[in-house]
Amino acid sequence: MPILPGSDPAAVREAAAHIAVGELVAFPTETVYGLGARADWDHAVARIYELKKRPADHPLIVHVLDEAAIAPFSAELPPAARNLVRRLWPGPVTLILRRNAGIADAAAARQSTIGLRCPAHPVARALLAQAVSLGVPGIAAPSANRFGRISPTTAADVRDELGESLTVLDGGACAVGIESAIVDCSGARLRLLRPGTIDRARLESAAGEALADADGDAPRAPGTVESHYAPRARVRLLTSDELRHAWAQNAIPRTVAVYARTFAPAEPAPAQWRQMPSDPDLAARELFAVLRNLDRAGAEEIWVERPPEDARWEGVADRLRRAAR
C-alpha cells in the first residue's frame, strides 16, 4: 500500500502533506532514492537517523527546488559555487556551503556547513514544489538504505531496506544509479569530497576553478572514511588477467558471482556471470542493482573486474572500492 505512483499528482500531494507535518517519505531522485524529512524541523530529521540507524554526527544532504531556495540555508554563495549551481543544477551535484545559524541543525549534524542539492528527477521536483507550497524550505534526505548498505535505485529496494510501513513515491529505476558528486565550496579552495558521474573535468570547467582532493581538514563525509555501500556478499576486485587465469584454472567456485567488463569465458558462461557495460555512465546506472541482485541470488562472493584508471570511471571505481573493503 505505501508505495505510491510518483506520476500521480494526488500521490505527490499526499506525500508532500506527510513531509509538511514532519513525517518521512522516500522518493526517487535521478541518482538514488532518498529518505526525506523537512529539513527545518530537527525532530522530523531525527526520525531519519532512527530509521536508517545512522550515527547522529553524519550530516545529511538537503534537497532544494532551485537556486533561490539556497538563501534560507546559506547566505553566501561564492562565485565558483554559483557557477556550479547555474551550470549543473538541477543535477547530480551536491554543494557544501557555509550554513546560516539556527536552521537545519540536525540535518547538518550541527556542523557549520550544509550540503545542498537540487535534484533533476521530475518526481523529486514535483514533491519539492508541492512541499514548498506547504511552507517547507527543503527536504533533508540521505540515501534510503540502512547505514552502511548499498543505496536503493528502485522503490522495491527501498521497501526491502526500510520496511513496508514507510511511504515510498515510486519514480521507476534511477537513471544515474550512484550518488551525487559532492563539492566542498566552504573553504578557500574547492574540494571533491565524493566523486559521482559528472567527472572532475566537467566540474572544474563548470566551476571555473580547479578541484583539490579532500584532505584531513575537509568536513566529514562518512562515505569517505569507512566501509560503505556493501552488499552481504564479499566483494573482490580483480584484473581481467586475474579473472582469465582463475577461469582457465577452473578456480572460480560456484558460490562466486562474476561481474566482468573485458573478460568473458567461452560458452557456456556460468549462470552467475554478468557483463559490465563498457560505458561508465551505463555501468553506474546498473551497478547497485547488479550487486543487490547477485546478493539476493545467494552469491557468497562477488568478483568484479577492476574499472579502468580513467577519470570518467572515478565514481564507479570509488563505490566498488568501498564495497570491497
Member of 38, 117, 191, 261 binding ligand TXA (CB under 6 A): 117
> Three-state SS for 20?
helix
Member of 6, 49, 84, 94 binding ligand TXA (CB under 6 A): 94
Nearer to ligand TXA, 119 or 307 (CB): 119
Tell me: does residue 223 bind ligand TXA (CB under 6 A): yes
CB count within 10 Å of CB 61 equals 26
Residues 81 and 61: their CA atoms lie apart, in Å, by 16
Which residue of this chain has its Cβ atom nearest to ligand TXA in the complex?
Answer: 142
Nearer to ligand TXA, 182 or 238 (CB): 182
143-162 binders of ligand TXA (CB under 6 A): 143
Member of 11, 16, 37, 59 binding ligand TXA (CB under 6 A): 59
Stretch in the footprint of Mg ion (CB under 5 A) among 55-63, 126-134, 136-144, 291-299: 136-144
Residues 244 and 255: their CA atoms lie apart, in Å, by 18
Q: Select the binding partner of residue 111 from Mg ion, ligand TXA, none (C-beta < 5 to 8 A, by kind).
A: ligand TXA
Member of 61, 81, 203, 211 binding ligand TXA (CB under 6 A): 61
Pairing of strands 113-117, 93-98: antiparallel
Residues 6+ apart with CB under 8 A from 223: 179, 194, 229, 322
Member of 74, 94, 111, 143 binding Mg ion (CB under 5 A): 143
How big is the site for Mg ion, counted in residues (CB under 5 A)? 1
How many helices (H) does the chain have, and how many strands (E)? Answer: 9, 15
For residue 197, give the nearest of 61, 88, 62 by alpha carbon.
88
The CB-of-179 to ligand TXA minimum distance in angstroms stands at 4
How big is the site for ligand TXA, counted in residues (CB under 6 A)? 29
Residue 63's alpha-carbon distances to 66, 151, 186, 207, 248, in angstroms, are: 9, 17, 18, 20, 49
Omega of the bond leading into 79 within 30 degrees of 0 (cis): no
CA dihedral 108→93→25→126, nearest 10 degrees, is 130
Tell me: does residue 197 bind ligand TXA (CB under 6 A): no
| Positions that interact with ligand TXA (CB under 6 A) | 29, 31-32, 34, 58-61, 92, 94, 96, 108, 111, 113-115, 117, 141-143, 179-180, 182, 193, 219-223
- Catalog residues that contact Mg ion under the rule CB under 5 A: 143
